[in-house]
Chain A
Amino acid sequence: MVKTVKALGIRAPNAGILAGNVLRSLEDPKEEVRFIVSPGAEAGMDAVARKYGYSMEVSRLEKDLEIRMIPSGKTLEEIDVTGETCPGPVIIVGERLSALAVGERLKVKSTSPDTLADVTVAITASGSRILGEGTEGDRHVITIEKGEKKEKTGDTLSAANRDRVLVVQSNGTGNAERAYATFIFSKVAVSMGKKVTIFLLMDGVSIARKGSAAGVKHPAFAPLDQLMDEMIKAGVTMYACELSAKFRGMTQEDLASGVKLAGAATYIQLLSDPSYAVVNF
């Protein structure tokens, strides 16, 4: 856990007195504390850190300073994703990061620098930042600090604000690799903080027929219906093209729970919305 204390405008030595009192009053002695102070206030803080058994790190935060007090003996959490195939690493790191509080840190290691590059893209897209990179033996290492997902203010139709993904799937249970891609890709997008909508059309509606996805199994993954349920529970919206379903003798009753029939207008609306990045499998 990380506690953030804003103490701007307070000069040394008062900043140090305040910091000392804060550290002394902490409910949880294992908690890290970040003080946001004005430049110049850090004088004397290292003595405070030493006195209460913390190590201190100072970094610049725009025009303020961040003084981080870390309880001595606290180890940084590490994950090694060597050997995991994409999108495994992004999903593993994304899940671990979602359980951390803003300001907490995580170290990710892998023998593959490309994997870490992919992880970097994923986490920076959702507001976190890379504090440092390096190597440890044969492992490349990055240190991530969880940030707040920036609220998109103002014009959400601007092309720069694409935080939604539309997965268009016209292939169905007859093509396992494509069918699996629907949900694996959605899972990564969700772990990057995107809002995902899946639109099934033509053969794609076969994925949504009750009981059909359960019969599709790729050796590397869980049965398709489990991946589908997982995504629906994670908040992904799923549509099935009404006409494609009708051609295949399906009505709303035949669809798995969580999938809604939709018409062409819905599809066109989703495609025309510039906040969606569209992908076809």
Chain B
Amino acid sequence: MTYETIGKELIEILGLKGSPVAVKLARTPADVPAGYEKMAKKERHCQFVQDARLKGVTGYATQAEHLCKGGAAVMGIEPSPDLVADGTTYQKLGNFKTVEGAVETVHAIPKLDETYYASVYAPLDKAEFEPDVVVFVVTPRQALRLSQAYLHTSGGRISSDYSGIQSLCADAVVAVRQRGVPNMTLGCNGSRKYSGIAEDEVILGFPPKELEAMVEALKTFRQKWG
């Protein structure tokens, strides 16, 4: 199945608002898909994901286009700002009582060690590249179906981890890319404020290779459960 088919079927079966988003990290300019242009405005990674999801925007963002340094840093596009890395920023923002607590979380955030040139975005059904991760912004019920679809083949359980910061960048993209397993995350102050993640929406990231089997599972669920 092509990503075009997969994307369209996911939208249709689940009744998704917008599209699943294909995200890829380009190591060098040569890794950016041909014909893709730089994002027109400097924005945050979570905003790029929402633009692809809701407005069908395709494009890529280098360090210059990333407004949020935290997001760009965990994706290897920028070095981590010192004040984030030493805990000061998040402690001042109010997330953590102490700087030590902030450091505990920042130390554990999924982060890429290599450097990358840019992040690339497209709605899954329009993606002309092999994504690293597919990001879904969905309601809890849709998240339930996606989780069930993932477990349909081999069973077991899903473990998701998050920390209430850097949700769409670290939890949904970096963690999934590094581990090759899905992760669910609840957004963060930044993404909910600036990129319009709704009250009733959560975020999941899936490795692309799981999607074909998941679509089949969703069709089975629709047949059995309606």
The interface of chain A, by Cβ under 8 A from chain B, is 4-10, 14-15, 17-18, 20-22, 24-27, 38
Q: Does B188 sit at the interface, judged by CB under 8 A?
A: no
- CB-defined contacts of B190 to chain A, threshold 8 Å: none
Give the distance in Å from the alpha carbon of A10 to the alpha carbon of B108 in the complex. 9
Partner of B161, one of A4, A10, A25: A10
Is the CB–CB distance between B163 and A17 below 8 Å?
no
Is the CB–CB distance between B156 and A6 below 8 Å?
no
Q: Does B104 sit at the interface, judged by CB under 8 A?
A: yes
Chain A nearest CB: distance from B89 CB in Å? 18
Q: A25-B207, A38-B108 are contacts. A5–B159 as well, Cβ < 8 Å?
A: no
User: Across the two chains, which residue of chain B brings its CB closest to A26?
Assistant: B180
Give the distance in Å from the alpha carbon of A26 to the alpha carbon of B180 in the complex. 7
Partner of B179, one of A7, A9, A38: A7
Q: Does B154 sit at the interface, judged by CB under 8 A?
A: yes
Q: A8-B107, A9-B104, A24-B156 are contacts. A18–B163 as well, Cβ < 8 Å?
A: no
- CB-defined contacts of B180 to chain A, threshold 8 Å: 22, 25-27
Q: Does B144 sit at the interface, judged by CB under 8 A?
A: no
Give the distance in Å from the alpha carbon of A41 to the alpha carbon of B4 in the complex. 40
Is the CB–CB distance between B105 and A18 below 8 Å?
no
Partner of A21, one of B105, B111, B158: B158
Is the CB–CB distance between B104 and A18 below 8 Å?
no
- CB-defined contacts of B179 to chain A, threshold 8 Å: 5, 7, 18, 21-22
The interface of chain B, by Cβ under 8 A from chain A, is 104-105, 107-108, 110-111, 154, 156-159, 161, 163, 178-181, 207, 210
- CB-defined contacts of B178 to chain A, threshold 8 Å: 4-6
Chain A nearest CB: distance from B155 CB in Å? 10
Q: A22-B180, A24-B154 are contacts. A9–B159 as well, Cβ < 8 Å?
A: no
Is the CB–CB distance between A20 and B156 below 8 Å?
yes
- CB-defined contacts of A10 to chain B, threshold 8 Å: 108, 159, 161
Tell which of B107, B154, B159, B210 has the most Cβ of chain A within 10 Å: B159
Give the distance in Å from the alpha carbon of A15 to the alpha carbon of B108 in the complex. 13
- CB-defined contacts of A5 to chain B, threshold 8 Å: 178-179
12 contacts between A and B (CB under 8 A): A5-B178, A7-B161, A9-B105, A9-B107, A9-B163, A10-B161, A14-B161, A17-B157, A17-B159, A18-B159, A21-B159, A21-B181
Is the CB–CB distance between A21 and B156 below 8 Å?
yes
- CB-defined contacts of A27 to chain B, threshold 8 Å: 180
- CB-defined contacts of B163 to chain A, threshold 8 Å: 9
- CB-defined contacts of A8 to chain B, threshold 8 Å: 107-108
Give the distance in Å from the alpha carbon of A42 to the alpha carbon of B223 in the complex. 41
- CB-defined contacts of A21 to chain B, threshold 8 Å: 156, 158-159, 179, 181
Q: A22-B181, A26-B180 are contacts. A9–B161 as well, Cβ < 8 Å?
A: yes
- CB-defined contacts of A9 to chain B, threshold 8 Å: 104-105, 107-108, 161, 163
Give the distance in Å from the alpha carbon of A135 to the alpha carbon of B161 in the complex. 44
Q: A9-B104, A24-B156, A25-B207 are contacts. A18–B110 as well, Cβ < 8 Å?
A: no
Give the distance in Å from the alpha carbon of A22 to the alpha carbon of B159 in the complex. 11
- CB-defined contacts of B159 to chain A, threshold 8 Å: 10, 14-15, 17-18, 21
Chain A nearest CB: distance from B165 CB in Å? 12
Give the distance in Å from the alpha carbon of A38 to the alpha carbon of B163 in the complex. 15
Chain B nearest CB: distance from A156 CB in Å? 18
User: Across the two chains, which residue of chain A brings its CB closest to B181?
Assistant: A21
Give the distance in Å from the alpha carbon of A5 to the alpha carbon of B156 in the complex. 20
Partner of A18, one of B107, B111, B161, B207: B161
- CB-defined contacts of B158 to chain A, threshold 8 Å: 17, 21
- CB-defined contacts of A38 to chain B, threshold 8 Å: 108
- CB-defined contacts of B105 to chain A, threshold 8 Å: 9
Give the distance in Å from the alpha carbon of A128 to the alpha carbon of B97 in the complex. 39
Is the CB–CB distance between B181 and A25 below 8 Å?
yes
- CB-defined contacts of B107 to chain A, threshold 8 Å: 8-9
Give the distance in Å from the alpha carbon of A8 to the alpha carbon of B181 in the complex. 15
Chain A nearest CB: distance from B215 CB in Å? 17
Give the distance in Å from the alpha carbon of A24 to the alpha carbon of B181 in the complex. 9
User: Across the two chains, which residue of chain B brings its CB closest to A38?
Assistant: B108
Give the distance in Å from the alpha carbon of A17 to the alpha carbon of B184 in the complex. 14
Give the distance in Å from the alpha carbon of A20 to the alpha carbon of B151 in the complex. 13
Give the distance in Å from the alpha carbon of A118 to the alpha carbon of B141 in the complex. 62
Chain A nearest CB: distance from B93 CB in Å? 19
User: Across the two chains, which residue of chain A brings its CB closest to B182?
Assistant: A21
Chain A nearest CB: distance from B102 CB in Å? 13
User: Across the two chains, which residue of chain A brings its CB closest to B107?
Assistant: A8
